[in-house]
Amino acid sequence: RRVHGGYGLCVAKAQYPIAEIVEMLKKKGKKVRFGIHPVAGRMPGQLNVLLAEAGVPYDIVLEMDEINDDFHDTDLVLVIGANDTVNSAAEEDPNSIIAGMPVLRVWTSKQVVVVKRTLGVGYAAVDNPIFFKENTGMLLGDAKKMCDGLLTKLKDDS
């Protein structure tokens, strides 16, 4: 399991339910890691600090270069409030204005769940093809409310 957060996670303060979800999954024997883009949260290190504040163990918080090659072996990636940092157009569309930009290759995993308020574009104003890939499911809404809902569901199923 992989989690990638972005600006939306930071704004919504979803790090607290995410930290609880991580703890529950780890207790069930699941391997959970965070993939952090260098500019996740709009400035370097912002997401790392927020995750640390919520009690996420630092040893499962990995930089993009440490985790990118693992996505193809990953069952599920949960993308929370991120857009440009996971935009496959950077690698798949040579005519895109973000072509060549380093991104987390979440779309190569078996399944992707994206939590976002809308299907709108990110800061770079580029549509994100991963929203429409067959292995992607979308949870549209406020990141904290969606993560609270996921946490409640996990608790109910325990």
Mind telling me the catalytic residues? 7, 42, 123
3-state secondary structure of 77: strand
Residues 6+ apart with CB under 8 A from 114: 79, 82, 86, 130, 131, 136, 137, 138, 139
Q: How far apart are CA 148 and CA 14, in angstroms?
A: 8
Q: Per this entry, what is the length of the chain? A: 158
Q: How far apart are CA 93 and CA 100, in angstroms?
A: 9
In the block, which residue shows the tokens 């995750």? 51
Q: How far apart are CA 114 and CA 141, in angstroms?
A: 10
